[in-house]
Every structure is written in C-alpha cells, then in structure tokens.
Amino acid sequence: MSRTERIALATGCFAVLLVAWHISVRLSGTDVFPLPLDVVAGFRELASRGHLFGYARDSLMRVLCGYGLAVLAGIPFGMLMGWYPAFASTMNPLIQMFRPISPLAWMPLAVIWFGVSNAAPIFLIFIASFFPIVVATMNGVRNVPPMYLRAAANFGLPRSTILRRVVFPAILPRVLTGLRLSLGIAWLVVVAAEMIAVDSGLGYLIIDSRNAGKRYDLVVGGMILIGLIGLGLDTLVRRTEQIPSLRWGFRKD
C-alpha cells in the first residue's frame, strides 16, 4: 500500500468516526456529551484566550525534562549492567523490584517531596521512563554479536573505545525501540500527574473543565489534543528509526 493510499484510508476512517460520533449524540438526545462542532468551538475558545498553546507547552516541557533525564541516566546505566555481569547481578534485583510499580503509585510521595510544582510530574515521568530504557539498553548490550567484540579485541582497542565505537552503535536499534515505548509511557504519566500535582497542562485542563461547569466539550477536546500530540511524538521517533545509519537494525515487516 502506497503512502497516499494509507493517508486516504486513515482520513476516511477519521471521517467515518466523526459522522458516527455526531449521529450517536443526536440519536441519544444527550445534553452532556458534546458534538464534534462543540469540541471545535471549545478549541477556538481556548485558543482565543491563549490557553491552548500554554497547556500543550507545559505538558511537553515536563515530558522533555523528565524523559530527557531518564535517557541521560538510563542508557549509561543499562550499558554498565549489560557489560559488567557483577554489576548487573547486584542491581538487577532492585530494577526488577521497582520496575513493576506503577509510576502513579509514586504520586503521593512525589507531592510530599516536591509539593505542587513541576518537579513532581517530572519525577514521575523520570521514574516511568527510566526502567524501560535501562532494560532495553541492558538487553541490547547482552545481545551484541560476539564477532563484533572479538574483532575489536583483535585490533587491541581499549574497553572504553569498544563501548563507544562498537557496542553503542550495535545496540542503537534496540535502544530506540525502548525509547519509543518509554516516551509513550511518559506521555501517559504526565497527563495523569497533571490532574493532581500541578495547576497547568493538558491533564489539568481535563480535570478542571470537568469540575468547573462540566465543560465536556473541553474535556473531549483535551483528550483529542493529547492523542494528536502522542501521535506526533510517536511519528517523530519512528522517523528517527528510519535514519539510514540505523535502519539496518530494524526488521522489515
């Protein structure tokens, strides 16, 4: 299927969904759930007040900070765990113990430690992103083809150079997959955290619109905006995976 056909199919599905949404609301006779045009009007209202860009900007800023810190800490930590078995045997039990804990379970502690501030959701995003990145990186190092390491050793390269010039390029495809998954988790967590820990962002928009006048047009609009931004972030990472120097590591479906 060509790119044009895929876009046309996606556009058609979206149009059918909008029509079904409109008809369903009309047939139900509800005054609570908004029509598609009501949501568009809500978007215009937020945009005219200057809130739409601000809410999206605040959420993206928090994700960028928390996710960026997780990448900076998680990749080196995962490489060390994959390269040094003794270090992995010491740290892996802790990683596997904390990894299944929902990031939202940390929310009460985050509020106690950081208060109602940006630091609380950033901490939650860091926790949510760190463990998937560590595990993906560690598994990537452990699955580097031995022939690469033997070839580097035959050239007498020091260990630090092998890690930088051989291991890291070899694990990039697997690491990028982990980064993509963790970015999706980070976007989920920031929306949930903003409903409790801060007073701005898309999550706050949804909960505030529901509590202040039951503005379900803004609630649904916020949900749609969250989905669109999530799609954009996922597309950005997918495009990164298509860089020629990395594409060799991805299996063609």
Is 13 part of a structural domain of the chain?
Answer: no
- Look at residue 12 and tell me if it is in a domain: no
CA nearest to 34, candidates 211, 203, 222: 222
What range defines the domain where residue 175 resides? 34-247
CATH of the domain at 239: 1.10.3720.10
Assess if residue 104 is contained within a domain: yes
pLDDT tens-digit readout, 96-135: 899 888 888 898 888 888 887 888 899 999 999 999 999 9
- In a domain, residue 20? The reply is no
Residue 149 lies in a domain: yes
As for how many domains the chain has, the answer is 1
Burial of 178 (0-12, 13-18, 19+ CB in 10 A): buried
Tokens of 36: 């598609």
Q: What is the mean pLDDT of residues 28-49?
A: 85
**Residue 3 forms part of a structural domain:** no
For the segment 130-158, what is each residue's pLDDT rounded down to a tens digit?
Answer: 999 999 999 988 888 888 777 877 777 78
pLDDT recorded at residue 132: 92
Query: For residue 28, is it within any domain?
Result: no
Enclosing H/E stretch for 162? helix 159-162
Backbone dihedral angles phi then psi of residue 50, each to the nearest 5 degrees: 80, 10
Would 15 be classed as within a structural domain? no
**Measuring CA to CA, how many Å separate 227 from each of 46, 184, 186, 220, 233?**
17, 11, 13, 11, 10
